[in-house]
Chains A and B, each alone.
Chain A
Amino acid sequence: EPEVTQTPSHQVTQMGQEVILRCVPISNHLYFYWYRQILGQKVEFLVSFYNNEISEKSEIFDDQFSVERPDGSNFTLKIRSTKLEDSAMYFCASKGTYVLQYFGPGTRLTVT
């Protein structure tokens, strides 16, 4: 069964530092997504990406966030200057021509 992978599984960073969360979507998938889940809260949509550009973003996805597909296989989420409230589990997802959206295992980001 194909799967989405994410690295690292856990990232600890200091407030104000930049972090890059990495995802390897399923090959031949065309649609990519980032979601986050703050501890004890619901999973929230951040951004979707298709054809090398952002197709939709939420109000959470402000100027401190950016996404990139640098090499045709990885899909990254960058947070420029982390805040305490960015601590959350970040999930990457991808979708191909079929309807199912496949989710990765998540990266737990802890900002201290």
Chain B
Amino acid sequence: KQEVTQIPAALSVPEGENLVLNCSFTDSAIYNLQWFRQDPGKGLTSLLLIQSSQREQTSGRLNASLDKSSGRSTLYIAASQPGDSATYLCAVRNTNAGKSTFGDGTTLTVKP
């Protein structure tokens, strides 16, 4: 059974800092991994998707890496801004059409 863990549970940084969020999964036979952003009481905004054959994906100030063999992914946020404050979720799929298994999320607060 796939299990996804995110560390830390919460993170507070001053504006402008670079930061790394971590995601680990127990079954390394994944199909892909997706990072989402969730604002309080809101839906899921997809940020980046990494296929199992890829090592990283970039979008603007975000960079996600994947090390499938060790069961880890990181989300790197450069030059953080107060608007980045949200909960960041990691989700893995073991097959193309299969379910997504989510982590608990990391709640990020960026202080002005």
Contact = CB atoms under 8 A, between A and B. Distances in A.
Interface residues of B, number: 24
B93 A101 contact: yes
Nearest to A106: B43
Interface stretch (A14-22, A41-49, A68-76, A77-85): A41-49
A100 B82 CA distance: 28
Contact of A42 (B34, B46, B49, B102): B102
Nearest to B45: A103
Interface in B42-59: 42-44, 46, 49, 51
A5 to B, nearest CB: 11
A52 interface: no
Interface residues of A, number: 26
17 contacts: A33-B100, A35-B102, A42-B105, A48-B98, A48-B99, A55-B97, A89-B41, A99-B51, A100-B34, A101-B34, A103-B36, A103-B43, A103-B46, A105-B43, A106-B42, A106-B43, A106-B44
Interface of B: 31-32, 34, 36, 41-44, 46, 49, 51, 89, 91, 93, 96-105
Interface of A: 31, 33, 35, 41-45, 48, 50, 55-56, 58, 89, 91, 93, 95, 99-106, 108
